[in-house]
Structure 1
């Protein structure tokens, strides 16, 4: 079967397995498009995106536009005459004329079971909302935010111990497999095209500082899911003595216990500390005081004078 002439657009680590698959399966990759180098770390040195690192490894042509709506960028892509453009977590919305350029359209690999969790943070919100199933959807892109016709799906269970980090890793590998089958079906002319039901759509909005702060009036289950959903980035937090206390790991201690003072440290345990919530109690297992390293909550109890009866804000 003829391999499609492909342009790959992606930026973060999530996109790399899809690029790896295209190389290993022998696709002609006319160019890799990724975000410009950005300053990172304490030294603010320019750093390559993970996709650029992979493209350099494979000696592929790289394009890094500041704005994909620029006419020069459009003409550069048009001159390559791609059969298909594959987009995986690229980071910019594509204009209509670019979406209509490839013979077989622009194909997106999205980290949710559409139409649920359209938007920029589908993995985070699936965990935060306590979902038990997630997956990958490939779709034909249109000008909407993840609204295009669906092609194929792959599913993975969300386990009780999963975090955004572990689910991310499952989905990044699944995405390569679903994309592989999608491109084979497109080349063979057998790819399905299923419109999304907008009435069933949900939106995974961008995370903000307000989302990250724990509200102890929520239930123990909701707080536990928030901690899982924000691990390893950007990490849930609360305030203690006017300083930030990041919460990395928790477990539900009692799901239904009636509590009178949400946020109060109810008990010190061998593993850490138990906090009252709006419904039930939750045990903090791993925390990070402001300007300190990540540590077991039991160590934080010993070193930061946390005791029963004290309040977390």
Structure 2
């Protein structure tokens, strides 16, 4: 059973298994800090974060500061007298005075093998960039962006079939396991403290609309990695007849065939359509036309009169 008085900070689904492990292993969780409720869905009703829902299910106190930098928030945290603060995908940068508040420090569970893929979208970019492995790193937090000394790491392969969704689900469970081991080492005062190699650091920048748009001049393999790296959110897209077409699933059809016009439909198949790229061809298997549901690409071909020679913008 854990004996470190803990404050937990997290917001999305990725953070929930880490909160679960704290409760399961008996760590006294003094409070859970999460982002304010946000409007969601067509009705724009205020929705709880996944972490808030989990915290309420455990009857844990919940704090939702608009800004973690507010003096009132610091005073609330100081009054809790935490031994350690655990941060998992919280969504706000902690100020120096909070980082220095707990006697055992603030630790973070990050979804990459640091110092690679520091930043806000490490799972997406690992797949987009065609990596074959990634993992979890726990670290002591400092004022930099994921620059603190590392504690423990665990690696997992990125499968050819992985999307950001499947890899996310695997990593969130791995994160809880590594957190459990980390807290055990910290409580025993045996935790390593390994400085990161700045020369090897890379950044997983925030995703933007430009990132999501398919550039057909890229190789088929790069486009395929982009599609699976943006599935299930925010989803890669292209333009056809001035309307957006989301691309949910693809496969590399031929990596080496010469192509004369990237974006041109080269062939129709029973499963969808084959498109020329900057290098090789790619088969589109699942799409979502603007304001429509997701569908098999073969259904889209029939419904939208796509044929050989049509050009995606």
Q: TM tier, shorter chain?
A: over 0.9
Quote the Cα distance in structure 1 between the aligned partners of 2:56 and 2:161.
36
1:196 aligns with 2:196: yes
Count of matched residue positions in the alignment of Structure 1 and Structure 2: 313
- Distance in 1, Cα, partners of 2:310 & 2:34: 49
Paired residue secondary structure (2:191): coil
Task: Give 1:256 deviation, angstroms.
Answer: 1.2
**Structure 1 runs (4+) greater than 4 angstroms displaced:** none
Match of 1:27 in 2: 27
Cα deviation per residue 1:6-41 (whole Å; 9 max; x = unaligned)?
A: 000000000000000000000100000000101111
Corresponding residue for residue 44 of structure 2? 44
The match for 2:117 is: 117
Map of 1:140 onto structure 2? 140
Aligned equivalents of 2:119, 2:78: Cα separation in 1: 27
Q: Secondary structure at the match of 1:223?
A: helix
1:257 positional shift: 1.1
For 1:257 and 1:188, locate their aligned partners in 2 and report how far apart those are by CA, in whole Å.
Answer: 59
* Structure 2 gap ranges (5+): none
Distance (whole Å) between structure 2 residues aligned to residue 83 and residue 155 of structure 1: 28
Secondary structure class of the residue paired with 2:162: coil
| 2:65–2:73 Cα contact (<8 Å) kept | yes
1:178-198: CA deviation from partner (whole Å, max 9, x where unpaired): 000000000001000000001
- For residues 25-73 of structure 1, the C-alpha deviation after alignment (integer angstroms, 9 at most, x for no partner) is 0010000000010111111100000000000000000000000111111
1:123 positional shift: 0.3
1:3 deviates by 1.5
C-alpha distance in 1, partners of 2:2/2:9?
21
Q: CA–CA distance in 2 between the matches of 1:169 and 1:13?
A: 9
Shift in Å, 1:95 = 0.2
Specify whether residues 2 and 36 from structure 1 end up closer, same or farther in structure 2 by C-alpha distance, changes over 3 A only: closer
> Could you tell me which residue of structure 2 aligns to residue 223 of structure 1?
223
**Does the 8 Å CA contact 2:2/2:27 hold for their aligned counterparts?**
no
Q: Give the deviation of 1:2 after TM superposition.
A: 5.3
1:310, distance to aligned residue in structure 2 (A): 0.5
Structure 1 unaligned residues grouped into runs of 5+:
none
Relative to the length of structure 2, the TM-score reads 0.99
Secondary structure of 2:135 counterpart: strand
Query: How far did residue 299 of structure 1 move?
Result: 0.4
**Counterpart mapping for 1:209-220 below 5 A:** 209-220=209-220
What is the 5 A alignment of 1:1-313?
3-313=3-313
Contact in 1 for aligned 2:2/2:25 (Cα 8 Å): no
Shift, 1:209, TM fit: 0.3
Task: Encode CA deviations 1:108-166: one digit per residue, 9 max, x unaligned.
Answer: 00000000000000000000000000100000000000000000001110000100000
